[in-house]
Amino acid sequence: MKSENTGGTILREKREATAGFDPEAIMADFPILTRKIGSNKLVYLDNAATTQKPTSVIEALNSYYRVMNANVHRGLHTLAEESTAAFEEARRKTALFIGGVKSEELIITRNATESINIVAASWGRKNIRRGDRIVLTEMEHHANLVPWIALSKETGAELAYIPIDSQGVLDLENIDSIITDNTKIVSLTQMSNVLGTINPVEEIGRIAHAAGAVFLVDGAQSAPHMPVNVKAMDADFYVFSAHKMLGPTGIGFLYGRENILNSMEPFLYGGEMIREVRYDYADWNILPWKFEAGTPNIAGAIGFSPALDYLNSLGMESIRDHEKKLTAYAIERLSEIKGIMIYGPKDIESRGGAVSFTHGEIHPHDLATFLDSRGIAIRAGHHCAQPLVKKLGLNATARASFYIYNTNSDIDDLAAGLAEAWRYFGHG
């Protein structure tokens, strides 16, 4: 098929331009980064919430609707066959990206939140009863907290939490008294969206399996920023979202072991997920389509394909190294500013590119608004991790989070904005 998508050409040009990982060259592939906020250049530091999209992703979305738009898996005409092939190619690429799992083990969802809800509702309702234990951590995002709270209320199961220490690192000293023989599932984030903490998922996975528990890893914050291999971490479930890793919004993934997924009932019912329907009977499709009722986000999946190409061309190890340098520089620069308190591990090897902080008595919302007036985009609030922020003794924090197109210059702009905010709000 003759396609209008020039993503391949752009990617080849980018590979030449970014030899040795050049974020300045990478920035040129992101149209939104040329935007001004008022008279100021955009300094985008809210990547833990969502990342910006390269031209290749934008053009893939445009190309799908211009030359290929059709439903998947249902038609025999040319457009339907091309759309289906591109949709399933995106699934195949994604399965390779997380460690080479089987394509049929990768369910396409709307986001990581929906993926966890599928596990809680489908696997959880079948396997968890009163007296069983669900183990989480004190640093979970609401997406990996609320579904389990709801399930515990429904079933009478007990919730238990792996605590964090004063540095925001999981305290595993009493782990054997938390992950016990009655534990049915251990579900935790690989990287905290607030503290930046990178958790020892392989170690915790071994403990969970030794106790006979199923092991779920929330990779929403880790898959975009570091090499991920779900086989190495021995995860039974792994979830993540495309929009945090250069891809479109509204597309996410649920990896599950084939035998476990086959034992689960569907979460949604209707078209696509059926094999046979009579007036008094329905039978379910095979994996992965058993869990993909209705028309999926076809454009989103196809748009994610060049996002994966982009990340693979840079190399996830290189991305991780770049972010470690940025994070170390950010902590150094922010620590020099009067009134700044930084939360999370001090060891750069133990944290990702998200830095949460407070700035004296300046409310984080006021701080974010002030910085926005200078073109600097950060996040402020409880970051959908309200219990964690309250445990820190706070109602909110400010958060700067980094990605492939960020530079030391962005951090310098942030530091200058924070110093100016200190003066503006009457502290010197």
Q: Amino acid letter at 77?
A: H
Task: Strand 183-189: give its sheet, edge to edge.
Answer: 106-109, 252-256, 237-241, 214-218, 183-189, 133-137, 158-162
Compute and round to an integer the Cα radius of gyration of the chain: 22
How far is the CA of 413 from the CAs of 43, 123, 400, 407, 419, in angstroms? 8, 47, 12, 10, 10
CA distance 419 to 428: 10
Residues labelled as active-site residues: 384
3-state secondary structure of 191: strand
How far is the CA of 9 from the CAs of 3, 14, 291, 318, in angstroms? 12, 9, 35, 22
Q: DSSP state, 68?
A: I
How far is the CA of 68 from the CAs of 7, 99, 253, 294, 305, in angstroms? 16, 30, 23, 19, 15
Element (H, E) at 94: helix 78-97
- Name the phi and psi angles at 256, rounded to 5: -145, 145
Residue 385, C-beta contacts closer than 8 angstroms, at least 6 positions apart:
139, 140, 141, 142, 192, 193, 194
Q: How many CA atoms lie within 13 A of 161 on its CB side?
A: 14
Tell which residue, 389, 385, 367, 363, has the closest CA to residue 376: 367
Using DSSP bridges, classify how beta strands 354-359 and 397-401 pair: parallel, antiparallel or unpaired.
antiparallel
Task: Strand 340-343: give its sheet, edge to edge.
Answer: 340-343, 354-359, 397-401, 379-381
DSSP per residue, 8-65: HHHHHHHHHHTTT--HHHHHTT-GGGG-EETTEEPEE-BTTT-----HHHHHHHHHII
Residue 224, C-beta contacts closer than 8 angstroms, at least 6 positions apart:
47, 51, 240, 244, 245, 246, 311, 403
